[in-house]
Amino acid sequence: MISQFVFGLILITALFLFYKNAKTIIRNILLGKKINRFDNVPLRIKTMLLVAFGQKKMFKRPIAALLHLLVYVGFCVINIEMLEIIIDGLFGTHRILSFLNGFYDFLIYTFEILAVLVIIGCLVFLVRRNIIRVKRLNKAELNNWPKTDANLILLAEILLMTAFLFMNAADYKLQTLGAQNYAKVGAFPISSTFMFILPTSISSLIAVERFCWWFHIIGVLIFLNYLPISKHLHIILAFPNTYFTSLTKQGQFKNLDAVTQEVKVMFDPSLSPPTSEDPERFGVKDVLDLTWKNLLDSYTCTECGRCTAACPANITGKVLSPRKIMMDTRDRLTEVGKIIDQNGSFVNDEKSLLDDYITREEIWACTSCNACVEQCPVNINPLEIIIGLRQYSVMEESKAPTTINSMFSNLENNGAPWKYPQADRANWTNK
């Protein structure tokens, strides 16, 4: 009964903390401006199934995709056993689902095969990050915590899967020794092969089995509450993020509502200008100017670097990294959320996403080619944020690089980006 009480207390505490963290993240996402992404439900479901569940875009890099699929499927499927562990922990039973007989044998058999594949996948990922040092996984924006975060998750998954296998090995050996409360159930194709390294006494085996059982369940619950501060939050958010993907063609930009309203008033004086005390800002200066989908994007970012690896500006040595744009947006949003928690509402801290997190050099290095959007495995759109920051810089501050200002001047005077008058534009045909 004491064990059941302790388990119940740990489970309730972990679920409560996860609820609290999830509530904060949802609050932060909803700080963004409203945007309608609830249309065309069938197409949205199809997109989610293909991109999030099917990992369609991952297979542009087949080796990494296969390894990721092994870890993703293995970790998710093996945690189906969490249902049995929770029931056993709450009611003091042992392998309560064993009444499924042959199907239960199939489940355990499958779980063990997948556990080994997860361990292999995680080991390869660790090698790729820390020994081979794949270029996109070792950029400057991943120094310190982001790199540590990725390694911690991989090590945690290896430990959890190892504990799972040793728990099964000890359980199987106890079954063969006829220990009390350890009835012969399940098929253990992997764990049964390394029973020889386990102790021979029943008491020691029970200690190993119980330790691994507690280590696995507590580890999973800790992992659950680690997600909100980790890039691995995409395990959950990839599904809503792909569901709410923009269905318009890439490269198609929506006119700013604030600008549209101003222009309408200019052309039709009978229309009343906006009456709000705080006029709507043109473009994006801070995270509160972004839409809730942009903020969801920032929390969903996997930091895989496929966007940066495909960015022509980054490839040619410019400072722009689409991955950093998303990481900076998430960091700023987290900071804004903490200010709201401390004060009840947002209080100006004299900081903003533009300049304090993302530099002007970064946003003007972008070629607007959409390569980052095309490559992202979970349909994140860094370009929308970059364009919003540019719009603020130009329309609110009248700040733009000299070459951009020259283009604006030519458009105003000549009706085209070029410096030549309209009358001379066809002169090249005379040569």
Structurally, how many domains does the chain consist of?
A: 2
Domain co-membership, 308 together with 355: yes
Q: Rounded to the nearest 10 degrees, what angle do helices 62-78 and 102-130 cross at?
A: 140
Checking if the pLDDT of 271 tops 80, the result is no
Checking if the pLDDT of 48 tops 80, the result is yes
Domain co-membership, 224 together with 345: no
Among residues 232, 69, 73, the alpha carbon closest in space to that of 153 is found at 232
Domain co-membership, 407 together with 341: yes
Domain co-membership, 222 together with 310: no
Q: How far apart are CA 43 and CA 49, in angstroms?
A: 10
Q: How confident is the model at residue 427 (pLDDT cuts 50, 70, 90)?
A: confident
The CATH number linked to 310 is 1.10.1060
**CB of 340 closer than 8 Å to CB of 25:** no
Which amino acid makes up residue 187?
Answer: A
Task: State which residues form the domain around 155.
Answer: 2-30+61-232
Q: How confident is the model at residue 274 (pLDDT cuts 50, 70, 90)?
A: low
Residue 362 lies in a domain: yes
Which amino acid makes up residue 301?
Answer: C
pLDDT digits (tens, 9 = 90+) for 112-123: 999 999 999 999
Beta bridge partners of 354: 358
The CATH number linked to 176 is 1.20.950
pLDDT digits (tens, 9 = 90+) for 218-245: 999 999 999 998 999 999 999 999 999 9
Domain co-membership, 352 together with 217: no
Domain co-membership, 397 together with 288: yes
Residue 122 lies in a domain: yes
pLDDT digits (tens, 9 = 90+) for 35-44: 999 999 999 9
Domain co-membership, 211 together with 287: no
3-class DSSP state of 276: coil
Domain co-membership, 179 together with 292: no
More confident residue, 93 or 274: 93
Checking if the pLDDT of 279 tops 70, the result is no
Domain co-membership, 209 together with 265: no
Going 394 to 398 to 404 to 408, the CA torsion angle's sign is: positive
pLDDT digits (tens, 9 = 90+) for 126-173: 999 999 999 999 999 999 999 999 999 999 999 999 999 999 999 999
Q: Which two tokens stand for residue 372?
A: 């980052």
pLDDT digits (tens, 9 = 90+) for 55-107: 999 998 898 899 899 898 887 888 788 889 999 999 988 888 888 888 888 98
3-state DSSP percent of the chain in helix, strand and coil, to 5? 70, 0, 30
Residue 320 lies in a domain: yes
Residue 45 lies in a domain: no
Domain co-membership, 297 together with 331: yes
As a whole number, the mean pLDDT across the chain is 91
pTM of the model: 0.91
Domain co-membership, 261 together with 369: yes
Q: What is the pLDDT of residue 77?
A: 84
